[in-house]
Structure 1
Amino acid sequence: MRASTFLTSTFFAATALAHGNIVSPPVRQAGAVTQQVCGAQAVSALTTDITGPLENVASNGSPDCNIFLCKGIQFEDNQNNVQEFAAGEQVDFAAEIPIPHEGPCNVSVVDLATNTLVGQPLISFASYADEALAQLPLNNTQFSVTMPTDLGTQCQQPGECALQWFWFGTNAQQTYEDCVDFVMTA
């Protein structure tokens, strides 16, 4: 009886933390540089619940830690995780959404130096992860984007650009974000 109660409680606690994240392609992960820039409390929040909203991440107040840019996770912790994409290439995404919160979502190319979008979103959902649905549409957890063909010389250096998955749960007032570092190849 105790083991059953413990397992049930552990399962409930683990799923109660979860909201949503990208599982493929590989996204930024917090490490030593993120801890140095954003603080141990931020890294603890980012690693304890990788699916949690940005509103749950408290930084140390450093101006170099922007929680709303790739969750504050620093590129230097992810230099070995840079993906290579070609113009016009289709990139498949997989997301986990254990606890849906309806709201808009998009995937965009972001200029990391300025935290601005490069062009238009590659995919947009006016209504994403609607908790009122009995089952989420497949395109909420499995979708593809086509890499832009008009980036010119942008996004050719590691650390310059990322694909940013950005989702805002309107009723929950919670923001979810993941970044895929990439370079454009010839």
Structure 2
Amino acid sequence: MRTSKSFSAALFVASALAHGNITSPPARQPGAAMQQACGADAVSAILSDGTGPLENIPSNGGANCNIFLCKGAQFADNQALVQQFSAGEVVDFAAQLPIPHEGPANVSIIDTATNTVIGDPLIEFDSYADENLATLPPNNTAFSVTMPVDLGGACQVAGECVMQWFWFGTSAQQTYENCVDFVMA
């Protein structure tokens, strides 16, 4: 896997502001292509608070902007972050949850053309980031997923699939997500 020190530093600064995000593997970030698709206000919202909920990201409503797919972040801005994984490979995730909101969460493989899940979730949490706990369980901020053995030929081309971390804070009624671009080797 490839990582970027500047990417990690940028996420650290953004994550100090609010709710939660994935810090490893590297998640999609906003850029010029997102600004063109979703508008400058959407990019500004993520840059000012990369951990905020989807509901706080304004969109110009363009046909190429789907806030509920990778926060609207576009593959064109993130080609250097594409990870390469093998069938059966264990992938470690790290999340920062400075403001927890209890609710379900999962990591799934998403077909980006249709914004649909491919196969079963790689990991699921019925109760995630419970703010009523004195300390969050360690597996809320550090967990692993195992890449599927057979994706039916999908995810061979960069930009075709993402691993999506999806979390819904039930009481807060807020949705959080990050996407990791990858290809299967």
Pairwise CA distance, 1:61:
1.1
Q: Is 1:176 matched with 2:173?
A: no
Identity across the alignment (%)? 72
Instruction: Report the counterpart of residue 167 of structure 2 in structure 1.
Output: 167
Instruction: Name the SS of the counterpart of 1:118 in structure 2.
Output: strand
Instruction: Report the counterpart of residue 127 of structure 1 in structure 2.
Output: 127
Instruction: Report the counterpart of residue 81 of structure 1 in structure 2.
Output: 81
Instruction: Name the SS of the counterpart of 1:44 in structure 2.
Output: helix
Pairwise CA distance, 1:117:
0.1
Instruction: Report the counterpart of residue 97 of structure 2 in structure 1.
Output: 97
Cα pair 2:34 2:43 within 8 Å, conserved: yes
Instruction: Report the counterpart of residue 33 of structure 1 in structure 2.
Output: 33
In 1, Cα distance between equivalents of 2:154 and 2:16: 40
Instruction: Name the SS of the counterpart of 1:121 in structure 2.
Output: strand
Instruction: Report the counterpart of residue 51 of structure 2 in structure 1.
Output: 51
Instruction: Name the SS of the counterpart of 1:155 in structure 2.
Output: coil
Show CA shifts across 1:19-53 (max 9, x none): 00000000001001100110000000011100000
Instruction: Report the counterpart of residue 9 of structure 1 in structure 2.
Output: none
The alignment of Structure 1 onto Structure 2 pairs a total of residues equal to 172
Letter in 2 for 1:160: E
In 2, Cα distance between equivalents of 1:129 and 1:81: 27
Cα pair distance change 1:34/1:131, threshold 3 Å: same
Instruction: Name the SS of the counterpart of 2:23 in structure 1.
Output: strand
Instruction: Report the counterpart of residue 144 of structure 1 in structure 2.
Output: 144
Question: What's the TM-score once normalised by structure 1's chain length?
Answer: 0.90
In 1, Cα distance between equivalents of 2:17 and 2:184: 35
* Structure index of larger Rg: 1
Letter in 1 for 2:143: F
Q: Could you say what the CA RMSD is over the residues aligned between the two structures, in angstroms?
A: 1.2
Show CA shifts across 1:116-160 (max 9, x none): 000010000000000000000000000000000011311000000
Show CA shifts across 1:79-126 (max 9, x none): 111000000000000000000000000000000000000001000000
Q: Is 1:116 matched with 2:110?
A: no
Question: What's the TM-score once normalised by structure 2's chain length?
Answer: 0.91
Moved more, 104-113 or 15-24: 15-24
Pairwise CA distance, 1:78:
0.4
